[in-house]
Structure formats: C-alpha cells, structure tokens
Amino acid sequence: GENVEQHPSTLSVQEGDSAVIKCTYSDSASNYFPWYKQELGKRPQLIIDIRSNVGEKKDQRIAVTLNKTAKHFSLHITETQPEDSAVYFCAASRWDSNYQLIWGAGTKLIIKP
C-alpha cells in the first residue's frame, strides 16, 4: 500500500537559519501533499499544501517543493524563529482515495536560540 517516509525525525537548527524536511511517497498516483504543524500540547494544523500540477508553492517564510519524478516533496522554512519549534507532519493523498491521507511519522524541529 501507499507509504510516506519522512526525514529527519529530529532537526535542530540555529535561529535564523533554514530548515528542510523531506518526504518520499510510494504511490505515483498521489496528487495532494499537505504539511501540518503541531505545537506542543496542541492539535495539528495545516500550514501549506501543494497539488501535483504545481512544482513549488510559497507562503511567506515557508515553501513546499514537489518532485513527481522522484516522488518526493519537501518543506522549507527560512529565517527560522522560536515559534517554528514544533512537530511537522507531511501527508499524501490521491484523488480517488476517499479523502484518505497517508501520514509521515513526523519531524521534531528544534530552534536553538
């Protein structure tokens, strides 16, 4: 079945530096790729998503890139700030999957002051 691998499991970066989290998916028919952020003690919330007809999408300091050939997509956070510290989850879905998201295992991002 569909599988999504997420790396790294933990990422520690200096405040102000960039962070990159990568996910690889197995189902070539996947066409929707969201990223969720979960702050400590809170619920996951969507921060950005991309569909397979687009290669890159940006929203202020965050961006997602998609490489359909290699079947991977990445989250890029620039100029990291303390409030970026959280667990980030990637997911993948396909148009005929009955709404199902296949989730990555999560990346704990630590921003060092």
Give 5-73 as a DSSP string.
EEE-SEEEEETTS-EEEEEEES-TT--EEEEEEE-TTS--EEEEEEETT-SEEEETTEEEEEETTTTEE
Cβ of residue 109: shortest distance to other proteins, in angstroms? 14
Among 11, 63, 101, 110, binds other proteins (CB under 8 A): 101
DSSP for residue 100? P
In whole angstroms, give the CA distance from residue 54 to residue 14: 30
Among 43, 53, 60, 113, binds other proteins (CB under 8 A): 43
Taking CB under 8 A as the binding criterion, the range among 54-62, 64-72, 78-86, 95-103 that sits at the site for other proteins is 95-103
Residue 6 vs 80, nearer CB to other proteins: 6
Residue 45 vs 81, nearer CB to other proteins: 45
Give 80-98 as a DSSP string.
--GGG-EEEEEEEB-TTST
8 prior amide bond cis, ω within 30: yes
Taking CB under 8 A as the binding criterion, the range among 15-23, 61-69, 74-82, 98-106 that sits at the site for other proteins is 98-106
Residue 42 vs 83, nearer CB to other proteins: 42
Query: Which spans of this chain sit near other proteins (rule: CB under 8 A)?
Result: 32, 34, 36, 42-46, 49, 89, 93, 95, 98-101, 103-106
